[in-house]
Amino acid sequence: MGWGGGCHSALLDIQKQLRAQISNFTFNLGFSGKFYHTGTVEEDEGDDLLLKYVDEFWWFPHMWSHMQPHLFHNESSLLEQMVLNKEFALDHNIPVDMGYAVAPHHSGVYPVHLQLYEAWRRVWNIRVTSTEEYPHLKPARYRKGFVHNSIMVLPRQTCGLFTHTIYYKEYPGGPKELDKSIHGGELFLTLLLNPISIFMTHLSNYGNDRLGLYTFVHLASFLRSWTNLKLHTLPPLQLAHKYFQLFPEQRNPLWQNPCDDKRHKDIWSKEKTCDRLPKFMVIGPQKTGTTALYLFLLMHPSISSNFPSPKTYEEVQFFNTNNYHKGIDWYMEFFPVPSNVSTDFLFEKSANYFPSEESPRRGAALLPKAKIITLLINPADRAYSWYQHQRAHEDHAALRFTFYDVISARPGAPAELRSLQSRCLIPGLYSTHLDRWLTHYPANQVMIIDGHQLRTDPAAVMDEVQKFLGVTPHFNYSQALTFDPQKGFWCQLLEGGKTKCLGKSKGRKYPPMDPEARAFLSRYYREHNVELSKLLHRLGQPLPSWLREELQKITFASMSRG
């Protein structure tokens, strides 16, 4: 509140005038109740006149005192401030049910401040907001929307009027610049190229030279003269539904690192830090030795991982599941604040990242500099180990069907069997999954480890890993690991000669795979193994022995056919 006297009638007049060119055009006015009646006499009269015509406009809550929500770490203080603004609205008959709000300076909307979304929902039942910051302010044509915590965030456009651009003659670069933008320039193109445009200008643009009104009236008439666009205004909630009908693929957000954009960093809580993000990730796939690698890494004095999750234990499973929608604050809570950012290495291991469609893109958006470690064993052995794992966890289908039944199930087979089959086989399509990771990460950030070598010669592998990560000091794994004949695997050597091995669930005892299943899987993975060998050649990496063996089988098969 705090409008120059006479503005109300200018606003109403222009609203009427604009309705002739934009059906249903209605100004959506934001209010911060704390400033009601705190201006000059004239401004205070303006406040009262606006309230007199309260039903002519739409209204949305700004913040009570125009403060930036990201400065409030505590949700309850945000709630208190919102409640004050709501009480103000109720006292002055301002409608409170539009479901739309805007945060000052985009603060808290993107990068997401969970507390703001929560408080908005609780006090105002907000379901729509808008920002210019997602994914970044510039380039403006890449702005998008997303949905978070059931609040639809719409992209907002820039109209070229800011708090200080209030006089026509003093428009930056001269008034011609504003007119150019309207008459075929940037502002005109913005409207032309976006099926839905949202603009917001400031109080100061409605008073003074009324540049806000000037701009939109001229824009609308220029559009009417030179295009056959039909302009229409929708209330925020309907507009948001329309937007996501047009762009359903935008519903899912893609979180970026707030510290990679200065504007984002400025509207991000000072209590948050980008240092609580991993420098590298072990992405799986499952059953290739990821837990052994995880534990060996933790033995290194400079390497640490996330706190455990009550649901998924040592794995966070952020990028591949709905946890992603909980936002990066949720993710970062899993990591300690490193005591020395340059020498400490945080990492996480989630073995289901490897085959996940979404993980590479999401990973690269948030952690573009992260290093990626994957382990590969013969996909046939991986499938068999996974099947044994499911049996040990008493998966109904795995107990009911033999391994051969699972891998050879046909399209008409029972749904539970088909589902088990795809979960068993798909992660082994290594080249497909690796290609996806390499689309999003440069090859020199990706390390492919032979999981069989990790099993037989872990110290050599860990030396390579240390080199790849650039972690110091060098840790001597030949001294720290020892082969435990009873376990049949390499384990951590403790003081006094005792060993600490992985639990019962790693290195299980089960009968060897029957030859029929192995032959089936060699055929099943043949093409993919060939593709993997090409990919490794391209990357200049040696082929693991199991892959060479599989390739030889193909050669023998074709020789015996020939």
Q: Which of 88-96, 403-411, 437-445, 503-511 is the region at the interface with ligand PPS (rule: CB under 6 A)? A: 503-511
- φ, ψ of residue 483 to 5 degrees: the values are -80, 125
Half-sphere exposure of 31 (CA within 13 A, CB side): 28
Closer residue to ligand PPS (CB): 66 or 508: 508
Closer residue to ligand PPS (CB): 115 or 388: 388
Decide: 64 and 84 in contact? Cβ < 8 Å.
yes
- The letter for the amino acid at 268 is W
Closer residue to ligand PPS (CB): 488 or 542: 488
350 lies in the site for ligand PPS, by CB under 6 A? no
62 lies in the site for ligand PPS, by CB under 6 A? no
- The letter for the amino acid at 99 is G
289 lies in the site for ligand PPS, by CB under 6 A? yes
Cα of first residue to Cα of last residue in the chain, in angstroms, is: 87
507 lies in the site for ligand PPS, by CB under 6 A? yes
Cα separation, 491 vs 499, in Å, equals 6
Q: Which of 104-112, 228-236, 382-390, 546-554 is the region at the interface with ligand PPS (rule: CB under 6 A)? A: 382-390
286 lies in the site for ligand PPS, by CB under 6 A? yes
- φ, ψ of residue 448 to 5 degrees: the values are -110, 115
CA–chain centroid gap for 280, Å, is 17
Cα separation, 212 vs 165, in Å, equals 10
Under DSSP, the state recorded for 376 is E
490 lies in the site for ligand PPS, by CB under 6 A? yes
Distance of closest approach, residue 488 Cβ to ligand PPS, in angstroms = 8
142 is in an annotated binding site: no
Q: Catalytic residue at 180?
A: no
Closest by CA to 253, choosing from 315, 328, 194, 360, is: 328
Closest by CA to 18, choosing from 229, 216, 230, 227, is: 216
500 is in an annotated binding site: no
Strand partners, 481: 492
Inter-helix orientation angle 186-193/175-182, to 10°: 20
Strand 371-376 relative to strand 345-349: parallel, antiparallel, unpaired? unpaired
430 is in an annotated binding site: no
389 lies in the site for ligand PPS, by CB under 6 A? yes
Handedness of CA 550, 551, 552, 554 (dihedral sign): positive
Cα separation, 290 vs 502, in Å, equals 11
Distance of closest approach, residue 560 Cβ to ligand PPS, in angstroms = 32
Distance of closest approach, residue 425 Cβ to ligand PPS, in angstroms = 15
- Applying the rule CB under 6 A, the residues between 425 and 454 that interact with ligand PPS are 454
226 is in an annotated binding site: no
Distance of closest approach, residue 509 Cβ to ligand PPS, in angstroms = 8
Of 508, 523, 537, 548, the one binding ligand PPS (CB under 6 A) is 508
Cα separation, 122 vs 405, in Å, equals 52
Q: Which residues 6+ apart lie within 8 Å of 194 measured at CB?
A: 157
Closer residue to ligand PPS (CB): 325 or 487: 487
Q: How many residues bind ligand PPS (CB under 6 A)?
A: 19
Residue 316 neighbours by CB distance under 10 Å: 27
Of 292, 303, 429, 447, the one binding ligand PPS (CB under 6 A) is 292
Of 287, 300, 423, 436, the one binding ligand PPS (CB under 6 A) is 287
467 lies in the site for ligand PPS, by CB under 6 A? no
506 is in an annotated binding site: yes
506 lies in the site for ligand PPS, by CB under 6 A? yes
Decide: 187 and 155 in contact? Cβ < 8 Å.
no
Q: Which of 122-130, 180-188, 422-430, 499-507 is the region at the interface with ligand PPS (rule: CB under 6 A)? A: 499-507
Distance of closest approach, residue 320 Cβ to ligand PPS, in angstroms = 13
Cα separation, 394 vs 382, in Å, equals 18
- The letter for the amino acid at 103 is A
Q: Indicate which residue of 272, 287, 349, 371 is catalytic.
A: 287
Q: Which of 267-275, 427-435, 500-508, 544-552 is the region at the interface with ligand PPS (rule: CB under 6 A)? A: 500-508
Tokens of 483: 């082969």
502 lies in the site for ligand PPS, by CB under 6 A? yes
Of 154, 351, 438, 446, the one binding ligand PPS (CB under 6 A) is 351
Binding positions are 385, 490, 506-510
- Which residues are known catalytic residues? 287
Q: Which residues bind ligand PPS (CB under 6 A)?
A: 286-292, 351, 385, 388-389, 454-455, 489-490, 502, 506-508
Known binding-site residues for 3'-phosphoadenylyl sulfate equal 385, 490, 506-510
